[in-house]
Homo-oligomer: A and B are copies of this chain.
């Protein structure tokens, strides 16, 4: 659901065409969440169907330009207005996996935690490196990318600490060996 609103937000700035929207989305979010190009066009179709954007015909190079409508402006305003709902947080595959592993015999939970921890630590290092690289030129335009990286770093740190807690709990369960 956030793609829909993200595209609207970009169109709020000025009219654009599909490919351009993808480029700008990825640029502004630091390419952390690659946006499938197919999704851009299907989303634009739906936005047009719902009267939130309109085709402006083609520009000089033949690109199909979309611009936001008043209804679209209202919708994107609402989106920025309302906080992100916490009603149904996105599924956390790792947490699900671990929860299921715990309730099932025949799964090496300890090993799973170890393996996962290694992966997370490595990711953390990469994020931190990217962040250092990105921080050398703190132009306001790069601020967004920095914040996205910070977000990933914080989330990953939390994940590592959670894995440590899981491990401690596990020890406690299986008895202090």
In the complex where A98-B147, A154-B162, A173-B140 touch, is A33 in contact with B2 (Cβ < 8 A)? Answer: no
- Residues from chain B with a CB closer than 8 A to the CB of A98 are 144, 147
Does A115 sit within 8 A of B, measured CB to CB?
yes
Min Cβ gap A56→B in Å is 20
Q: Pick from A41-49, A59-67, A83-91 the stretch touching chain B.
A: A83-91
Min Cβ gap A126→B in Å is 9
A11 CA to B32 CA in the complex, in Å?
35
Contact B10 A84 (CB under 8 A): no
- Residues from chain B with a CB closer than 8 A to the CB of A154 are 158-159, 161-162, 165
Does A9 sit within 8 A of B, measured CB to CB?
yes
Min Cβ gap A47→B in Å is 16
Name A148-168 residues within 8 Å CB distance of B. Answer: 148, 150-152, 154-155, 157-159, 161-162, 165-166
Does A134 sit within 8 A of B, measured CB to CB?
no
Number of interface residues of A (CB under 8 A): 69
Does A169 sit within 8 A of B, measured CB to CB?
yes
A98 CA to B79 CA in the complex, in Å?
11
In the complex where A83-B119, A100-B10 touch, is A166 in contact with B141 (Cβ < 8 A)? Answer: no
Known: A2-B93, A147-B169. 14 other contacts (CB 8 A): A1-B93, A2-B97, A3-B91, A12-B104, A80-B101, A90-B91, A95-B151, A96-B148, A103-B141, A147-B166, A150-B166, A154-B161, A154-B165, A155-B155
